[in-house]
């Protein structure tokens, strides 16, 4: 039996403000700089969802990519696209919407929607150079 990894990419736009309730205003400003600006800023995010599973010898696939695409659309993109993450998304009302926290939240949403034990990795590209990677650990 072969184990194969499959990656599917999705994009969305959202705005956020990096701010931790556990830090003072001065500490927030120092740590997050411009990203702590009161009215937020936007990103064109790229989300990569990597699944890992048995290659079905009969069909030659691990999972129907059309189904994976729909799960990513319904469980993540529809909830965050063109939203203000801090104000519009329940999970980020009290959780700082950093790329790291977003990758963890997206993992939880995806895991609920995908067949059991298929999700391997969530990669969230916040900019061309900044990527948060989460494997459910």
Residues that bind Ni ion (CB under 5 A): 35
Give the active site residue among 16, 19, 125, 126: 126
Q: Can you tell me which residue has the tokens 């990419």?
A: 9
Q: Of the two residues 49 and 102, which places its CB atom closer to Ni ion in the complex? A: 102
Is there a contact between 2 and 60 (Cβ–Cβ < 8 Å)?
Answer: no
Residue 133 has which token pair?
């990677």
Q: Give the shortest CB-16-to-Ni ion separation in angstroms.
A: 6
Annotated catalytic residue 35: yes
Q: Give the shortest CB-26-to-Ni ion separation in angstroms.
A: 20
Annotated catalytic residue 52: no
Annotated catalytic residue 13: no
Give the active site residue among 35, 91, 100, 121: 35
Q: Of the two residues 20 and 52, which places its CB atom closer to Ni ion in the complex? A: 20
Closest residue to Ni ion using C-beta atoms: 35
Q: In angstroms, rounded to a whole number, what is the distance separating the alpha carbons of residues 133 and 110? A: 14
Q: Of the two residues 114 and 123, which places its CB atom closer to Ni ion in the complex? A: 123
Three-state DSSP string of 54-82: ECCCCCCCCCCHHHHHHHHHHHHHHHHCC
Give the active site residue among 27, 41, 82, 108: 82
Angle 10-76-115 from CA coordinates, rounded to 5°: 95
Catalytic site positions? 35, 82, 126
């Amino acid at each position: 039996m072969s184990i194969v990894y499959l990656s599917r990419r999705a994009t969305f736009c959202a705005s956020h403000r990096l701010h931790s309730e556990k830090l003072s205003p001065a500490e927030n400003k120092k740590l997050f700089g411009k990203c702590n600006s009161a009215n937020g800023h936007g990103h064109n995010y790229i989300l990569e969802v990597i699944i890992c599973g048995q290659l079905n010898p009969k069909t030659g696939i691990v999972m129907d990519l059309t189904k994976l695409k729909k799960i990513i659309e319904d469980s993540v993109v529809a909830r965050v696209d063109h939203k203000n993450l801090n104000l519009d998304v329940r999970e980020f009302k009290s959780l700082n919407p950093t790329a790291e926290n977003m990758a963890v939240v997206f993992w939880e949403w995806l895991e609920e929607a995908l067949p059991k034990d298929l999700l391997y990795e969530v990669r969230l590209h916040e900019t061309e150079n900044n990527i948060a990677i989460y494997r459910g650990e």
